[in-house]
Amino acid sequence: MIRKLAFAVFVGALAASTAAFAVDTTPTKGAPDLSAVRSAIKAKEFKAAITDLNGMIDAGVQHADVYNLLGFSLRKSGDQKTALTYYRKALDFDPGHKGALEYQGELYVEMGEIAKARGNLANLVKLCPQGCEEREDLEKALAAAPAN
């Protein structure tokens, strides 16, 4: 019981600590203008961000940043299963998308799938051998994860 409570406190702290990072992710090449979406996310208006991002997808916009931010917004809204789908889609478009690797890794930590999160971290280590914000953030999430 104490372990479950500690895990719940950890997940809540992780969710609170990563909410602003989506707006800090550097846009990748060819990304559409996502400034309104990033503002909504920064204001924790995840449902508005989801609506805007789905509208872009419905209009034919297909870009890793769109799918990554949709995954992030869904995760922050509590829909982990669908969030995972969109992180995978972002990584299908750009396997080296640092933001998607970080956020998917954080989702794996929230789900208790630490080995998968470490796999994402290994990819970030390859992409950022000298370090980067995404790598550091996922390292912090893993370090804060309760021991399994």
pTM of the model: 0.82
CA distance 70 to 57: 10
pLDDT tens-digit series, residues 82-141: 999 999 999 999 999 999 999 999 999 999 999 999 999 999 999 999 999 999 999 999
The tokens of 63 are what? 């870009």
Q: 52 and 39 in contact (C-beta within 8 Å)?
A: no
In this prediction, residue 22 carries a pLDDT of: 54
Domains and CATH numbers, the chain: 2-144 (1.25.40.10)
CA dist., res. 77 & res. 83, Å (int): 9
Distance CA 49, CA 34 (A): 10
pLDDT in tens, 3-33: 443 444 444 444 444 444 455 566 777 889 9
H or E stretch covering 138: helix 133-144
CB 45 within 8 A of CB 76: no
Phi, psi of 78 (to 5 degrees): 100, 5
pLDDT at 25: 62
When pLDDT is averaged across residues 58-80 and rounded to a whole number, the result is: 97
Q: What angle do the packed helices 80-93 and 98-110 form, to 10 degrees?
A: 150
- Tell me the C-alpha distance between 106 and 81, whole Å: 13
pLDDT reported for residue 96: 97
Question: Count of alpha carbons within 13 Å of 73, Cβ hemisphere only?
Answer: 25
How crowded is residue 75: how many other Cβ atoms within 10 Å of its Cβ?
25
